[in-house]
């Protein structure tokens, strides 16, 4: 987040919200899948869960930054040009 700061407050807010949501959602999935519920019984386990929240939130931040950069790059492009770019990526 600090290495390449967002251009606007709106972009920053969307990035933070998406980071928090993907972090909490990703950790919920990881805790259930790997059966890590007993980690909440100790302080060290809670610290480890905090690290998992951070790690699961990073992809959300990256995806939002990629989307904002794609939108900024194609701001003046027509829908056909945008569709062509998306098809090339996929």
Q: Is the dihedral of CA 35, 38, 39, 40 positive or negative?
A: positive
Q: Model's pTM, two decimal places?
A: 0.74
Q: Residues 76-85, buried b or exposed e (16+ Cβ, 10 A)?
A: eeeeeeeeee
Residue 72 is predicted with a pLDDT of: 87
For residue 39, the model assigns a pLDDT of 96
User: Which pLDDT does position 2 carry in this prediction?
Assistant: 64
Alpha-carbon separation of residue 29 from 23, 24, 46, 82, 90 (angstroms): 10, 9, 16, 33, 27
What residue spans define the domains of the chain?
17-89
23-79: pLDDT as tens digits: 999 999 999 999 999 999 999 999 999 999 999 999 999 998 888 888 888 889 898
């Amino acid at each position: 987040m600090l290495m390449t700061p967002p251009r606007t407050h709106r972009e920053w807010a969307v990035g933070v919200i998406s980071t928090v949501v993907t972090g909490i959602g990703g950790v919920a999935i990881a805790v259930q899948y790997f059966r890590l519920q007993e980690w909440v019984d100790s302080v060290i386990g809670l610290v480890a869960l905090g690290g998992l929240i951070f790690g699961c939130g990073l992809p959300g931040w990256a995806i939002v930054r990629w989307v904002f950069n794609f939108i900024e790059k194609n701001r003046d492009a027509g829908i056909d040009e945008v569709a062509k770019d998306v098809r090339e990526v996929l």
